Amino acid sequence: MKRKIHSWASLICSLALMAMSGLASADETIWTKLKSNPDTSIFAQYAMDLGLVEALNTAQLIIPWTLFVPDNVAFSKLPKPIFEKMKNDDEFKRQIITSHLILGASTSAEGILGGNQLTTASGATLNLVKKDDLYIKDAVITKKDIIASNGIIHLVECVIYVQPSISDERLSQSLQSTFDQTACCLADSIGDEHHMALVK
């Protein structure tokens, strides 16, 4: 009998510790999550370079953040000229990084759903598509709902570039006139003229 009581006490103690751990995790800010996650260290460094730490570290926001964060593997897939421009051109870097930040959107993956348009901190528009997975244009969300005290993070498989449709030579004139903005996934693709045009 004593052994059974001891077993139940251990189980209750373990569950309490797990619950406390979950609460501590949710009390961390977006910035704390980014800098402590080894998979998002590159994005965190760019955010620091751009002076975004204070904004992302403000706890208990009335209007929370939603971040679509490329993981380190996504940054490793950048074509070399684009990677170099990210390092040397602060305006280009700001445009890229702030296109992954949304303030005031529905936070959870289930709340966002497909067909929604979200306006990013860069002023760009992201179109969401819901099929078997949740997509941002052609970028798949690989890990959903990393909850923080001031918002939520979703990891995405590539770095997203949002641009005026009129400057996207991949589109027909009809599509350029129909859509204000379009997005592309900046994955490594040798000889991709569209990606190379971005660094000229």
Q: In DSSP terms, which residues pair with 163 in a beta bridge?
A: 182
Residue 4 lies inside a defined structural domain of this protein: no
Q: pLDDT for 7-40, tens place per residue?
A: 444 433 443 333 333 434 568 999 999 999 999 9
Q: pLDDT digit string (tens) for 165-174?
A: 777 777 788 8
Assess if residue 90 is contained within a domain: yes
Which two three-digit tokens encode residue 45? 């460094």
Are the CB atoms for 175 and 91 separated by under 8 Å? no
pLDDT, residue 141, reads: 75
Domain that holds residue 109: 26-197
Looking at the domain assignment, is residue 102 inside a domain?
Answer: yes
Number of structural domains, the chain?
A: 1
DSSP letter (8 states) at residue 103: E
Which of 41-55, 85-99, 173-187 is predicted least confidently? 173-187
> pLDDT tens digit string along 42-84?
999 999 999 999 999 988 677 889 899 999 999 999 988 899 9
pLDDT of residue 47: 96
C-alpha to C-alpha distance for 197 and 180, rounded to whole angstroms: 19
- Type and span of the H or E element at 45: helix 41-49
Q: Is residue 20 part of a domain?
A: no
Check whether 90 has a pLDDT greater than 50: yes
What CATH number does residue 138 fall under? 2.30.180.10
Q: Are 168 and 83 in contact (CB under 8 A)?
A: no
Domain-located, residue 9? no
Does any domain span residue 16?
no
Residue 17 located in a structural domain: no
CB 109 within 8 A of CB 145: yes
Indicate whether 57 belongs to any domain. Answer: yes
Which strands make up the sheet holding 139-148, listed edge to edge?
101-103, 65-70, 151-156, 139-148, 134-136, 125-130, 117-119
Share of the chain above pLDDT 90, in %: 30
